Amino acid sequence: MALTPEKVKQVSLLARLQLSDAELELMTRQLGRVLEYIDKLAEVDTENVAPLAHAMELSNVFADDQVAASLPREEVLANAPKRDDACYRVPAVLGD
Amino acid sequence: MSSLVEQTAAELLRRLQASEVSATEVASAFLDRIASHDEKIGAFLSVWREQALERAADVDRRRAAGKPVGLLAGLPVAVKDVFCTRGELTTCASKMLEHFRPPYDATVVEKIEAADGIILGKTNMDEFAMGGSTENSAYRPTHNPWDNERVPGGSSGGAAAAVAAQMAPLSVGTDTGGSIRQPAAFCGTVGLKPTYGRVSRRGLVAFASSLDQAGPLARTAEDAALLLEVIAGHDPLDSTSANAPAARYSQTVSQPLEKLRIGIVREHLGAGLDAEIAAAVEEAIRVWKDLGAEIQEISLPHNEYAIATYYIIAPCEASSNLARYDGVHYGYRTDETKMLAQLAAERKAAEVNPARLEEIDTPLVRMYRQSRSEGFGAEVKRRVMLGAYALSAGYYDAYYLKALKVRRLIRQDFDQAFAKVDVIMGPTTPTPAYRLGEKVADPLASYLGDTYTVSANLAGICSLSTPCGFTQSGLPIGLQLQAPALEEDRLLRAAHMYQTATDWHLRRI
């Protein structure tokens, strides 16, 4: 599966990154080499092998349903790059 | 008597307890050492001089009054800048988090402070813990204390360099694919990656959540045992933390292990391994035979696929974890006025062709993309892209799912090996510390340096690096020991045994 600049550009939207033409070209080359190396996984017979997503195969770790204090709003909003008194501010989502 | 900064944590603690030295004197000695040496090394991103001295004075007061003090009472600790520290800068060595001050402490930080450890500051690292040289820090590279032209390893390069350059007796790092053990090997310190889940990940800024684990770096196994004892244990606020009792590692570390069965993977001592490292590991095998260990050859047939597996799974998890950096909640945000002007210009240029108009981002999406592109460095972008690609429609089965299946085979290899041996031993790294800049242009070459370390993270077992020699040119060499999940006690006792028969760990820059 050869990696193309078009594919990399498409993935950059999924990854919410904006790549310059030079970055796009470099990324295509560097990721292409990594993917070529990774293709060696195809050699491994994984027929009937269950995937292992997590080394500790826990399931359903429950916590008691207890009411506890949340972080104070002011402390959490303190790191926001743009805010008003109670909310985060973002560029207009709907058309102008 | 050697100067305070040359001493191990255990020696310092004994002298603190005997009131031969105060916590204030110890903290001052290390802070002065940072002031005089760190400009050259670059191990710290921030130094907490005032807080450290205040806390040390508090420990001195309580000790003098006969009040109870914690296990680390008065011992300085350096903390990797990936752990959240309430109200204090936590940058992950990224421009994205340049001004980030978390609203809470990581559990590891809470535990160090509850044990009366004195935090000296936050250490440098590869951005978001992605890399093996600390050159991916957005702020400055860290230099190897043994040879300033060379890298300290990474991603916990600042943590290892701080200990090696005697700027801290203890430090805490994180290891996702070797990020504690490889810098420990490059800098001639002990570094332990505990079992996945042994140490809480709460407040540890996530890179790859199924692989990340925090652990100690120190000069000796004894010191690493002390710090692990403080930070290990179940945390109800991290649902993946192991619900198993942690041992009193510092109490048992000096007990030798009888009839230890050590497994050697023959393929790991062959092609691709630096000759001086191979010789040092062979010498370590001889030392172990003298110590009464039984050496057995074992096989880990899927280990050769560990790097390929890791460089699918870790970037996939990273692309998901780093989605949180959106320029909205916290972190860097692009200049909105400029961005909106740029978008307006693009729309105007596209007016002749309505189809192209469709392709132009909405202001919100462009804000995300622009903020992330300006806030992340090259390696972080590469990994986020790799992960997004591998998880995208049509590729998931071939990459991510395939990697998860091979991950199970890698784990099964370890299960089978540990049925025959107690620990597995080999080199930590294929080469000693390389020159700054040497691998910057070739990401794959840098990834291949993780060949002996990544499988422990994939399998979730515990693993440690301890010094086992030096190259002709004076660079440290690391010996890796691996043990089954939750057997840190065995690992530390084995390392301590080895350290009683060798003095590599006592060498100082």
For chain A, what are the domain ranges?
Answer: 5-43
Taking the CA of residue B254 and the nearest CA in chain A, the distance in Å comes to: 29
Of the candidates B180, B139, B176, the one whose C-alpha atom is nearest the C-alpha of residue B162 is B180
Question: A1 falls in which pLDDT band (50, 70, 90)?
Answer: low
With CB atoms and an 8 Å threshold, state whether B336 touches A82.
yes
pLDDT tens digit at each of 509 positions of chain B: 579 999 999 999 999 999 999 999 999 999 999 999 999 999 999 999 999 999 999 999 999 999 999 999 999 999 999 999 999 999 999 999 999 999 999 999 999 999 999 999 999 999 999 999 999 999 999 999 999 999 999 999 999 999 999 999 999 999 999 999 999 999 999 999 999 999 999 999 999 999 999 999 999 999 999 999 999 999 999 999 999 988 999 999 999 999 999 999 988 998 899 999 999 999 999 999 999 999 999 999 999 999 999 999 999 999 999 999 999 999 999 999 999 999 999 999 998 888 888 889 999 999 999 999 999 999 999 999 999 999 998 999 999 999 999 999 999 999 999 999 999 999 999 999 999 999 998 999 999 999 999 999 999 999 999 999 999 999 999 999 999 999 999 999 999 999 999 999 999 99
With CB atoms and an 8 Å threshold, state whether B240 touches A61.
yes
Q: Which residues of B touch A90 (CB under 8 A)?
A: 328, 364, 367
Q: Which residues of B are catalytic?
A: 80, 155, 179
Quick one: pLDDT at residue B347?
92
CATH class of B4-263+420-506: alpha beta
ipTM > 0.90, yes or no? yes
Q: Which residues of B touch A81 (CB under 8 A)?
A: 327-328, 330-333
Q: Which of A41, A88, A91 sits opposite B402 (nearest CB)?
A: A41
DSSP secondary structure string for all residues of A52-65: -S-SS---------
**Residues 253 to 272 of B: which have CB under 8 A from any A CB?**
none
Question: Is some CB atom of chain A closer than 8 A to the CB atom of B87?
Answer: no
Taking the CA of residue B335 and the nearest CA in chain A, the distance in Å comes to: 10
Quick one: pLDDT at residue A57?
81
Q: Give the mean pLDDT of A11-32.
A: 96
Quick one: pLDDT at residue A95?
61
Q: What residue spans define the domains of chain B?
A: 4-263+420-506, 306-400
With CB atoms and an 8 Å threshold, state whether B197 touches A56.
yes
Q: Is B315 in contact with B384 (CB distance < 8 Å)?
A: yes
Question: Is some CB atom of chain A closer than 8 A to the CB atom of B405?
Answer: yes
With CB atoms and an 8 Å threshold, state whether A72 touches B302.
no
Residue with the larger pLDDT of the pair B194 and A61: B194
With CB atoms and an 8 Å threshold, state whether B328 touches A51.
no
Quick one: pLDDT at residue B68?
96
CATH architecture for the domain at A5-43: Orthogonal Bundle (1.10)
Number of other CB atoms surrounding residue B271 within 10 Å: 7
- Residue A96, pLDDT above cutoff 60: no
Contacts by B434-439 with C-beta closer than 8 Å and gap 24+? B434/B133, B434/B150, B434/B151, B435/B149, B435/B150, B435/B151, B436/B133, B436/B135, B436/B141, B436/B143, B436/B149, B436/B150, B436/B151, B437/B135, B438/B151, B439/B133
Q: Name residues whose C-beta falls within 8 Å of residue B248's C-beta, 6 or more positions apart in sequence.
A: B229
Q: Which residues of B touch A30 (CB under 8 A)?
A: 382, 443-444
